[in-house]
Amino acid sequence: MTDHTPATALRVSHVELYVTDAEAAASAFVDGYGFQVCATAERGGGPEGASRSLALRQADIVLVVTQALDDTHPAAAFVARHGDGIADIALSAADAREAFADAVSRSAVPLAEPAERDGWVTAAVAAGFDDVRHTLVQRPAGHTDTAVPLPGFEPVAEPAEVSGEPVGLTVLDHVAVSVPMGQLAESTGYYERVFGYASVYEELMVQGTEAMDSKAVRSPAGDLTFTVLAPSPEHDAGHLGDFLERHGSGGVHHLAFATPDIVTAVDRMLERGIVFLGTPDTYYDRLEQRLKLNRHSMAELRKARILADEDHGGQLFQIFTRTVHPRRTVFYEIIERAGADSFGGGNVRALYDAVQAEKAEHEAAAHADGEGA
């Protein structure tokens, strides 16, 4: 693997979602997750089409929601195919022209040649899965306001105060991607070859008749990790197959936001109306035997339905939101790391076992009731 020079080193700039209604999407992040609208952009026509965008920030997380205002903007076709979803994982570069040339020389698919506007330089290459892209962003000299993600955005003069207690989300921990069967090696290999990513995790996870191949790759800067999942050819496609069918292809199925205190973050998000996936009590009964917790109490985890896992580096705590997407695709993860570097693979197995055990208990109780009748 060739070293990447400082001029082409890339870090996360922002994540852009294409949506049907930018105001509604922004309000969902503000009201439910504690983000703050910090910049807006109106683009009128031209080859790229007309659009409206709002940029939102919380700590070091910057999200952009973009709505097409005519059929020529790429957001229109994206939303028609997938519904609202993650379309662009933008990367900041010290030299966008050199970063673009370097990526293309390593077989990246070019989508937009470098262009300069108001001192900004942007370009774009394809991501390693379906129609997601990576915009490369070079800011003007001396421009340090990360709340303004792209040229054409105007900062909000007086951002509205965040209502309620701060949620406490800090950074984008990882991006979870689903790809069709047989495309895992191709997708992760793209990042290893083009951007110099390193493999940090690989596992076949089997639950009953379902299974998925998984591999995580991390950027040289260490601030962007993709966990890529694909149905295993020897097993049922299961929920990954459901996502691929409903989404219309491979793509991002969730973003994971990190927090230093997941119990507090979840409590405050619940107050804001966010609904999380439930976890059976059997999971926590078994967790007491599986882990000796180094943070939070078992009672706190049980009450909030937070999951816990452990690897050689330490423990992690995670929970997933219930999707409100019309196609039941995109959702979000909240994660706290206490030394762990993995992604909760042990929870996949533990949850499956807990669900199966609880199902068996209910069936046994129903059978006993039937005999006693």
Return the H-helix or E-strand segment holding 354.
helix 345-372
pLDDT per residue, tens digit, the chain (373 aa), is 445 555 568 999 999 999 999 999 999 999 999 999 999 999 886 777 899 999 999 999 999 999 999 999 999 999 999 999 999 999 999 999 999 999 999 999 999 999 999 999 999 999 999 999 999 999 999 887 777 999 999 999 887 777 889 999 999 999 999 999 999 999 999 999 999 999 998 888 777 777 788 899 999 999 999 999 998 887 777 778 889 999 999 999 999 999 999 999 999 999 999 999 888 888 899 898 889 999 999 999 999 999 999 999 999 999 999 999 999 999 999 999 999 998 887 776 665 565 555 556 656 666 566 665 5
CB-CB contact of 78 with 32 (8 Å): no
> What pLDDT, on a 0 to 100 scale, did the predictor assign at position 337?
96
- pLDDT per residue as tens digits for the range 241-282: 889 999 999 999 999 999 999 999 999 999 999 999 888 888
CB-CB contact of 32 with 164 (8 Å): no
Tokens at 291, concatenated: 């882990």
Query: Model's pTM, two decimal places?
Result: 0.92
Tell me the pairing of strands 172-178 and 225-231: parallel
> What pLDDT, on a 0 to 100 scale, did the predictor assign at position 5?
59
Tokens at 323, concatenated: 């999707």
Q: Which residue has the tokens 């990246």?
A: 108
> What pLDDT, on a 0 to 100 scale, did the predictor assign at position 370?
62
Q: Which residue has the tokens 């992604």?
A: 343
Expressed in angstroms, the distance from the first to the final Cα of the chain is 70
**Cα 250–252–253 angle (5° rounding)?**
100
Q: 120: number of CA atoms within 13 Å, CB side?
A: 18
- Supply the DSSP string of 242-306, one letter for each residue: HHHHHHSSSEEEEEEEE-S-HHHHHHHHHHTT--B----HHHHHHHHHH---SSS-HHHHHHHT-
> What pLDDT, on a 0 to 100 scale, did the predictor assign at position 1?
43
